[in-house]
Amino acid sequence: TAQGSPTLAVIPGDGIGPEVTAEALKVLEVASPVTFAPTRYDLGAERYLATGEVLPDSVLEEVRGHDAILLGAVGGKPNDPDLPPGILERGLLLRLRFELDHYVNLRPSRLYPGTASPLADHVLERGDIDFVVVREGTEGPYTGNGGALRVGTPAEIATEVSVNTAYGVERVVRDAFARASRRPRKKVTLVHKTNVLVNAGSLWWRVFEAVAAEHPDVTTDYMHVDAAMIFLATDPARFDVIVTDNLFGDIVTDLAAAITGGIGLAASGNVNPDRTAPSMFEPVHGSAPDIAGQQKADPTAAILSAALLLDHLGHPGAAAAIEAAVLADLAERTTGTTRRTSEVGDAIAARL
C-alpha cells in the first residue's frame, strides 16, 4: 500500500455500530495526517439474518488485504430465535482475531478528569488510574478446543480446554514488557491463577520471569486474578501494564471499563504486533439494541478506538490529539444535558 493512503476496512455492524462508527470516521478524517481509503463491509446480525452468511472466505481475504480494520459492534436483539447463540462471536469476531493473529487484545483504562467513577473518593485519592490491559487474544479457553457428549442427558459431558503454548505466551508477554518500557511508570503485573491452574500457570510464570530478566528497567508484580479484582476496586492506581490470559483478560477488562467511566468510553485494539495482518480497532461495547437508531449512543469509545488505530499505524501525535480532544470534551460534559451521537462527534472533531 502507498504510504500516503492507508486502506481501511470498515465494519459498522449492527445496532449503534453504524452510528458510532460514523463519528469515529469523522474524527479520523480531521485528525489523521494521512487520508484513509475506506471500504465498507456489511457483516453482522443483519447480514446473517438476511443471507445466512457470517464471514464468507472471500470477504475475509479482502479484509486481510487492508492496513487496518475499524469495527463498530455486531449483535442482534436478545434471544432472537433466528440468531443462534455464539454464531457472530465465534464465526465473526473470534474468527477475525484468530485468522488475523490478533494476539494482543489491548484495552487502555484511564480515568479522565471530570469523568464519574463508581469508586469511592478515598480510593480515587490514592492516585491516577491509568493502566493498560494486554490480554492474550488467540489461546486460552477461547480456541474452541472442547466438545460435548451425551448432550441433554444427566450424563452430559462438556469440556473447554485452555490452550497455552510457550510461543503464544512468550509473544504476548514480550509485547507487554515493550509497552511498559515506553510508559513513564514501566511496570508489568502478571495476572493469573498459578496456584490452582498449575500447568498453564507454571508456563506463564517461567516465561514472565525470563522476559523480565531482559528488562531490568521494568518493575514486575504478580497477582492472582481474584486478588486483582479486589485491587482494581480498592487501589487501581497501582497498575500500569497488566498482562493476562484470554479468559482472565475478558473479565479484568470489563471491571476496568466499569471503574473508568463505563462502557461508553472503553476502547480496544485487537493487535497483530508483527503486522502480518491488519489489526482491528473497536469500542468494547456491543450493538446496544435498546438504544439503536436513536442517536443516543456515546461515540467516545469508537473515537478513542480510532486513536488507537492511528497510534498503531505510526501516528502517535494524531492519536494523542484525539485523546486530548476527548479529554477536553469530557471535562465540559455536564450531567443532565444530553447530546445526540453526531453532536458529540462534531464537538470532538471541532476541537481538532
Q: Annotated binding site, which residues?
A: 97, 107, 135, 226, 250, 254, 286-298
d(CA 303, CA 322): 8
Active site annotation includes 346: no
| Catalytic residue chosen out of the listed positions 80, 128, 226, 274 | 226
Annotated binding site for substrate: 97, 107, 135, 226
Q: Is 250 in the site for Mg ion (CB under 5 A)?
A: yes
Q: What residue type is assigned to position 342 of the chain?
A: S
| Catalytic residue chosen out of the listed positions 14, 41, 193, 240 | 193
d(CA 23, CA 100): 26
Set of cell numbers at residue 49: 439474518
Set of cell numbers at residue 113: 478528569
For residue 110, give the H/E element and its range: strand 104-110
d(CA 68, CA 153): 46
Q: Is 255 in the site for Mg ion (CB under 5 A)?
A: no
- Least Å distance, CB 194 to ligand NAI, is 29
- Least Å distance, CB 286 to ligand NAI, is 2
- 207 contact choice in Mg ion, ligand NAI, none (CB below 5 to 8 Å, kind-dependent): none
Give the distance between the most distant pair of CA atoms in the chain. Answer: 62
- The beta strand positions in 128-266, using DSSP E, are 130-136, 146-149, 157-160, 187-192, 219-224, 241-244
Whose CB is nearest to Mg ion?
Answer: 250
Active site annotation includes 82: no
Do 232 and 252 form a contact (C-beta atoms < 8 A)? yes
Nearer to ligand NAI, 288 or 307 (CB): 288
Going by C-alpha positions, the residue among 105, 104, 73, 109 that lies closest to residue 265 is 109
| Catalytic residue chosen out of the listed positions 142, 175, 240, 311 | 142
- Measured from the Cβ of residue 346, the count of other Cβ atoms closer than 10 Å reads 14
Nearer to ligand NAI, 19 or 311 (CB): 19
Nearer to ligand NAI, 220 or 287 (CB): 287
- Binding footprint of ligand NAI on the chain (CB under 6 A): 16, 20, 73-76, 93, 263-264, 282, 285-291, 297-298, 301
Active site annotation includes 240: no
Q: In this chain, which stretch among 8-16, 76-84, 249-257, 305-313 interacts with Mg ion, using CB under 5 A?
A: 249-257
- Measured from the Cβ of residue 277, the count of other Cβ atoms closer than 10 Å reads 17
| Catalytic residue chosen out of the listed positions 80, 128, 254, 274 | 254
- Least Å distance, CB 262 to ligand NAI, is 8
> What residues contact 142, with CB distance under 8 A and at least 6 apart?
94, 246, 247
Annotated binding site for Mg(2+): 226, 250, 254
- 286 contact choice in ligand NAI, Mg ion, none (CB below 5 to 8 Å, kind-dependent): ligand NAI
